Chains A and B, each alone.
Chain A
Amino acid sequence: MIGAFANILGRLTLNAFPHDPITIGGAVFMVGSFLAVMGMVTYFKRWKWLWKDWFTSLDPKKIGVMYMVVALVMLVRGGIDALMMRAQQATSVGASHGILSSNHFQQVFSAHGTIMIFFVAMGLMFGLINLVLPLQLGARDVAFPFLNSMAFWLFVAGMILVNLSLFIGEFSAAGWLAYPPLSELHYSPGVGVDYWIWSLQIAGIGSLLSGINFLVTIFKMRAPGMTLMKMPMFAWSVLGAMTLVIFAFPILTATLALLFLDRILGTHFFTAGGGGNAMMYVNLIWAWGHPEVYILILPAFGVFSEVVATFSRKMLFGYKSMVWAIWAIVFLSFTVWLHHFFTMGAGADVNAFFGIMTMIIAIPTGVKIFNWLFTMYRGNIHFATPMLWFLGFIVLFTIGGVAGVLMAVPPADFQFHNSLFLVAHFHTMIVSGVLFGDFAGIMYWFPKVFGFRLNERLGKYAFFCWLVGFILAFVPLYILGLMGATRRLDHYSASLGWQPLFIVAGVGALIIALGVALQILQFIVSFVLRDNTRDNTGDPWNGRTLEWSTPSPAPFYNFAHIPEVSTKDAFWAMKQRPKNEKDKELPYHDIVLPQNTGVGVYIAAGAFLFGFCMIWHIFWLAALSLLGIIILAVIRTSRDSHEQVVSASMVERIEAERLRGGEAV
């Protein structure tokens, strides 16, 4: 360590920059796109707008949009990783060793998993929650707006760290959960695992802060009259997920910290020798990792609950059952972690216990599926694109769920564990459950945020590409698992006969890529043709919950008048009542909202610098950035006023303009 202090830049030398052509290509592409975006912003003189209106904004809708943008860009990055993996496995057979070296391939799949879970799925989830939750609760803001902004920027800092490893140093090659002893210094001496640790550590703290924020928002910010049992199902599912965040993420933070201590101070928490136990790490990481799956999927379940009710034009079936199912899942998700490693050799009693607990989770999940199906029963179903994502979800999720129940039987799992069957299973659950749900949510709530609907035709094409591509990409993996193909292979013998299936899987991945391209095209086309799909009513889908009661795009204060709630599906009930003329004559009041602030950005920048310096052992600068973070936090908390007042007359003017504008278009 003394040696590290001797060098002012720690381990960072010119050798850290990429050498091999594919990495250079990737780095050049990423730097190039980054510079192109910067250039465009500069050319159109949008920096000030970007900073004032977006980066420093505490408006959850804007933060939500920023989450979405980051997550969708990361979806492309993680998708390119996936295509590289498919290309490698389709070609690296027998005498050929494919396009990537084994170490590079291992970095690619480690990055793919890390990015897809932490920066795509988490980003889409927090994005949707930011966009929708306050509106659904009839609130003007979240409970802690500044914390929200800081959490988002910490997420961005983690995201930048992951991507920075592409051109400064390397990424972890130890898989997305970096099991020791492979991830210990002895076997992974480079900076890769440190990049992994610090990007997740920083993003993870952001997630924990968000979890606290949304939990308090739900408990304290609901509109008058909205008791918990009158909340929209999305809000319930967010409440469940955020409870999990609060209990699970500290485990992640502690586990990552211990692994880092092993790597930097030579402690022996998880080392192979010296009294360490790698299986302790495996237990801890899954004690976070399994709830994490439900953290991602519960909000997506919430989206489906809203979508299926709205497009079936019926109330959600079995509301109370749904609430109980959520809480059963929340509780059970902490009792099943060992099913990720039945093959560790725990005794039969332990394995059987965790196997049975795992199966029990299938019960509330099954109940939710039947309730969604019976929401359609005697409905009047409009098959807009979000509803198609729902149908695709039910089909794939049920099949994936059955594979999951099979793997919950420990002796059967001995034959599936770490094979491509497992890989196919969890992709089925997370893609159909989480991604399809988030895509449905984006289609569904897009008009509320931007004031126009997304193009339906392109949306449907994208959906069918995803569905067909997914089946082609992952059914071969189920079969390959039964053929004995393990996960993470950068090469295999020709005599095994696996290649045709890997090629089919590659074709499937390309079709999914086409689906993503269509989704991007959908955003562009919908923006260009936005006048055709403009939503002047604020209620484009004949919605049921409060977010549809305010105009589209929702004003920055969400509601000119805080709505009063007396039933669930509050807006649907309002629409059924005869029009009450008095509503319009309500006087406007001053609205207090938080002022914009850049402190969240600065703190996250400090966290980024801190992480970067810890990775490269530049300890003096790490200490300085930590000090900077503390000073910023002190300054922020010791200021008296963070609020601005939107005067009643201002609100009146905005509302009047909106009415006029609405009629004119």
Chain B
Amino acid sequence: MNKKVKFSFIGLVCLAVLLTAAWYLHRTNLPVLEPKGQVGHQELDLIIFGSVLSLVVIVPVFMLLFTFAWRYREGNPRAKERYRPELDHSIATETIWWLIPSALILVLSIVTWNSSHQLDPYRPLASSAKQMNIQVIALDWRWLFIYPEQHVASMNFVQFPQNTPVDFTITSDAPMNSFWIPQLGGQIYAMPGMTTQLHLIASHLGEFNGYSANISGKGFADMTFVAKSSTPGGFNNWVRTVRQSHQKLSEETYNKLLQPSEDHSVIYYSNVQNGLFDAEVMKYMVPGLMTGTDNQLRITQRTSASSHQSHSSTYKSMPGMST
């Protein structure tokens, strides 16, 4: 009796917890599970596929565990007659559990190989719309987005037209960060002196949260931005608004941005100096541009240097070279 009360109490508590959790999850956003773009969708499909495939292992393990624990417990009067202390191997069954997981992993390996190539962040997305390039620089602790075709830039806010593939070219002028917009698709590192690429596309209109997923110092936690997907007309309007800004992004104003800042307001720049992004990547590579002796990443005179940097977009991050 006592035991029954105890178990039904525990059962009720568990049920209450599960119901509360279900209610909570129902009314909350789960960006990774609610993608708004093709890349995010395909990544979610992979996650679901992997989870379902794993059930082939989880279900038998849990069933065997609880069945064996119950059937062969000491208190079970029939356990004594079933007891076989010398049963210590069986080539047939052992072969089964070397082979079945191997088969599962073989299936998953093929999926992994194909999906790694298909969802390679460097790979341009197939789309009828023309691809758009946005250059991203992670600063301490803000995100700067440069639109090389539109010659504008925006701080802590990025906008692009719906259904247009976006090629984010990413670097960092700060410690390593990671560029992540969960509702559009997975992340990639932003590293100083290197560029990485991430192709994303938004199939819905809306504002999506963007994060830095890698610690980069004191102000890292609030290093967030908003990514907005709008109609093409809305995007053009936005670019017009940005062009009206009084702020311009030149070498000089950019260098001021290198001061650590936890100001997360959105800033628009109506004009961006040509080749700025490439110059900021390359300054880490060119010895003359840095006084490297005491680890100070101070930028020295650059008047002559920045002119021969404009064609340096061929420099990719080292690991990305192959693609």
Contacts and interface: CB of A to CB of B under 8 A. Distances in A.
Given A274-B292, A379-B83, A345 B64 contact: no
B263 to A, nearest CB: 15
Interface string A411-444: 1111111110000000000000000000000000
Given A348-B116, A380-B79, A373 B31 contact: no
Given A345-B319, A347-B319, A411-B46, A367 B97 contact: yes
A402 B108 CA distance: 12
- Chain B interface size, as a band, is 35 or more
Contacts of B109: 356, 359-360
A398 B62 contact: yes
Contacts of A589: none
Given A314-B88, A345-B317, A380-B83, A411 B61 contact: no
Contact of A367 (B84, B98, B193, B217): B98
Contact of A415 (B186, B214, B216, B222): B186
A383 B211 contact: no
Contacts of A187: 175, 217
Nearest to A357: B109
A277 B119 contact: no
B57 to A, nearest CB: 6
Given A367-B101, A383-B74, A484-B32, A347 B94 contact: no
Contacts of B62: 395, 398
B95 to A, nearest CB: 9
Given A266-B293, A373-B68, A488-B215, A345 B105 contact: no
Contact of A496 (B43, B119, B209): B209
A510 interface: no
Contact of A497 (B29, B80, B294): B29
Contact of B32 (A377, A483, A488, A496): A483
B26 to A, nearest CB: 12
A379 B218 CA distance: 56
Interface in A271-323: 271-275, 277-279, 312-321
A174 interface: yes
Contact of B85 (A181, A315, A352, A395): A315
Contacts of B118: 411
Interface in B41-58: 42-44, 46-47, 50-51, 54, 57-58
A359 to B, nearest CB: 5
Nearest to A183: B175
Q: Say which size band chain A's interface belongs to.
A: 35 or more
A97 to B, nearest CB: 10
B224 interface: yes
B196 interface: yes
A371 B54 contact: no
A273 B290 contact: yes
A179 interface: yes
A658 interface: no
B178 interface: yes
Contact of B178 (A268, A350, A406, A418): A418
A191 interface: no
A345 B87 contact: no
Contacts of A410: 112, 115-116, 119
Interface string B177-203: 010101101111101111011000000
B117 A417 contact: no
A632 B295 CA distance: 38
Given A174-B215, A410-B116, A489-B221, A366 B72 contact: no
A414 B209 CA distance: 16
Contact of A491 (B42, B213, B221): B221
B192 A414 contact: no
Contacts of A273: 192-193, 283-285, 290, 292, 297
Contacts of A382: 74
Nearest to A369: B61
A318 B94 CA distance: 7
B318 interface: yes
Contacts of A272: 175, 192-193, 284, 297
Contacts of A479: 25, 30
A410 B93 CA distance: 32
Contacts of A381: 68-69, 72-74, 79
Contact of B69 (A356, A376, A399, A493): A376
Interface in A140-154: none
A312 B68 CA distance: 10
B34 to A, nearest CB: 9
B188 A414 contact: yes
Q: Which of A175, A380, A406, A412 has the most CB of B within 10 A?
A: A412
A316 B88 contact: yes
A271 B295 contact: yes
A360 B188 CA distance: 25
Interface centre among B25, B112, B197 (most CB of A within 10 A): B112
B80 A380 contact: yes
A376 B47 contact: no
A304 B82 CA distance: 23
A277 B319 CA distance: 11
Given A312-B72, A355-B112, A367-B97, A412 B46 contact: yes
A277 B217 contact: no
Given A415-B47, A496-B209, A497-B28, A346 B87 contact: no
A657 to B, nearest CB: 35
Contact of A486 (B211, B218, B322): B211
Given A352-B116, A481-B32, A185 B295 contact: yes
Given A345-B122, A376-B68, A484 B209 contact: yes
B87 A484 contact: no
30 contacts: A102-B218, A173-B218, A181-B192, A185-B295, A186-B297, A268-B292, A271-B292, A272-B192, A278-B192, A279-B191, A318-B94, A321-B94, A344-B319, A345-B194, A348-B116, A348-B323, A352-B113, A355-B112, A376-B72, A379-B79, A380-B74, A381-B72, A381-B73, A395-B65, A398-B61, A402-B50, A412-B43, A415-B40, A415-B43, A483-B29
Given A347-B319, A360-B105, 16 more contacts: A182-B175, A186-B297, A275-B287, A318-B90, A320-B89, A321-B94, A345-B121, A345-B188, A363-B101, A366-B101, A377-B87, A378-B83, A378-B84, A381-B73, A415-B44, A486-B211
Interface of B: 24-25, 28-33, 40, 42-44, 46-47, 50-51, 54, 57-58, 61-62, 64-65, 68-69, 72-74, 79-80, 82-90, 93-94, 97-98, 101-102, 105, 108-109, 111-113, 115-123, 175-176, 178, 180, 182-183, 185-189, 191-194, 196-197, 209, 211-222, 224, 283-285, 287, 290, 292-297, 317-323
Interface of A: 102-103, 106, 173-175, 179-182, 184-187, 262, 266, 268, 271-275, 277-279, 312-321, 341, 343-352, 355-356, 359-360, 362-363, 366-367, 369-371, 373-374, 376-383, 391, 394-395, 398-399, 402, 405-406, 408-419, 479, 481-484, 486-493, 496-497, 500-501
A-B residue pairs, 5 tightest by C-beta:
A414-B186, A274-B292, A315-B88, A411-B119, A352-B116
